[in-house]
Structure 1
Amino acid sequence: MVAKFLIPIAAVLTLASCGSDSQFDGFTRAEETGIHYKFFKHNEDAKKIVMGSGIKFSWTFSIWPKDSIIMESKQTTQDGSRYTNFGVREVSFKGSFEDGLLMMHEGDSAAFIISADSFFLKTMRGNELPPGVKPGDFLKGVFAIKEVKTKEEVDKNAAEQKAEMEKKMQEAMINESVARDKYLADNKITAKPTASGLIYVELKKGKGEKPKPTDMVKVHYHGTFLDGSVFDSSVDRKEPIEFPLNQVIPGWTEGVGMMQKGGKAKMVIPSAIAYGAQGRQGIPPFSTLVFEVELLDFKPQPEQMQMPQQQQQGEQHEHHEGDGHKH
């Protein structure tokens, strides 16, 4: 008879040790972290989320007690799917959503209420609260866990993805090299590449000194891909451009720096000293570029423009799509 009463008492004691009454109706407060939680579906026999887990889940955020959603997972996915991937790597503050996730298992769904300002300032690392959110507000997050992967599975998947990416990059580099060699052979270009890979062919000799990397240069250019298609041309626009020589792609800085005023040259610029594996608008990754350039003039940069290289890269200048600018 005594045993019949001990079982329910033990169950009550177990629940009490995990949580207590919450100020939010229908929620329970976790004793250890202080997070307020409510499970809609909970399966403790399924794979549990632990530190280092990789999860696929959906989420929505709303300011408590309003139900209007201010952020949701499908806003962050390229295909509009409600499920997004997340690696549980750290707890941003005590009582954070990460603490809530660490209570969940694969297939679970639950709601959590946390400090809104702590989420935006600590988890999101913002400098200020977004409009409509004020100190003392609470944020409700609703999570549905579709899949949980162990740290070992996550690491293995990351290694496989890295290997696949490296393989594709290697193939792209080889394809670029083969296409470039064919272009050089077809066009009977025998000039040897410089140490950087630039192939420079002088078409018309200029006169005088060569521009320094810190000089302001004025050029006409005609840019094509290896197949001859034009991606940009100041010649076609009948508008030469002027720019600091050290603020363009390395292939231009080197190639134009080999010219003299009034000279013309053809430059075959591998992607490694152009726009690389990323490419840019209008220029695919791993694209060798061909420029015919005429150096019209050059002069020292105005003193205020001779900024440190790091600052130069952050500065924005008006330019055309493929004019050699790095940004």
Structure 2
Amino acid sequence: MMKKNLMFLAFAALGLASCNGGFKKGNGGLLYDIHADKGGAKVKEGDFISLNLIAKTDGDSVLMSTYEQGRPILTLLQKPQTTGDIFAGVKLLAEGDSATIKTEIDSIYKKGTRRPPIKGKYIVYTIKVEKVIPKGTMTDTAFNSRIQAYMKVQTDIMKKQEPVKIKKYIDDNKIVGTTTASGLFYTITKPGVGDKPAVGDTAEVFYTAKYLTGKIFETNVKDIAQKNKTFNPMQQYKAIRIPVGVKGVIPGWDEGLMLLNKGSKATFVIPSNLAYGEQGYQIIPPFTPLVFDVELVSIIHPDPNAKKIVPPAQMTLQQLQEQAKQQQAKK
């Protein structure tokens, strides 16, 4: 998991001015500018590191920011994959150091490897090394114990900060709404009419997903995607169909959708225990509350005359045996 987190850095970009003034040259076309040098021991392969970074395109469009996500990247420093890649750049730093590191896109992708869809010549990272736990001569057991102890402290901090962050978001945006018994906060921005979806119904929904910072990380609304510069021509921007109340989505959605009438627009502020919890999911860090702007376009009720099919996993042993006899008789 740690390796995957840092490998993702090789696909993020941070644009700078075209000139390289102030940058020093490293191997493989690597350019770097160290902003703060605390004079500590440099990071070595195998060390545990906590990194904050911001990533942008050459057009200055932010692709990734750990500050916006509210959590640094926690990983083991891997061996450089190619000369002059981001791993080599991080090895120039120590705990507390910060730098801008530029790598040439074409030089870090081997022949036959698909180049990421990033315009410009460079992938450039602005990095702050928050914490280093050196592997040194420690045994794996001792090393892992130190990492787990550090991560537990960070986890406890995040857990305590979450309700404070949610309250601040609601207060700062002057949102008037309701908090349910589970902790879901919602506000109806446009009332709908008619029935509300019930368990077993299917809801057709437009949505925009954001962090508490306001950063949009996902939407199926075409205009918003274009304005946010996240438009993907391969994606179909239309209402998605969600089975309601059957745990097909995060708990905050299951509960929230059943509070809305057809045609309603609403904002959900969902605490992490009703979202992706202490594990997180892909780009969503652990203990991350999320904001969803949703529109309930329509409600599809199940057909009462439809033939009910019992999933194989829920069949009794007797049913499975009877099914096998019937199939054998047809042969």
Task: Give the TM interval when normalised to the shorter protein.
Answer: 0.3 to 0.5
Bigger Rg over Cα: 1
Structure number with higher relative contact order (C-alpha < 8 Å, ≥ 6 residues apart): 2
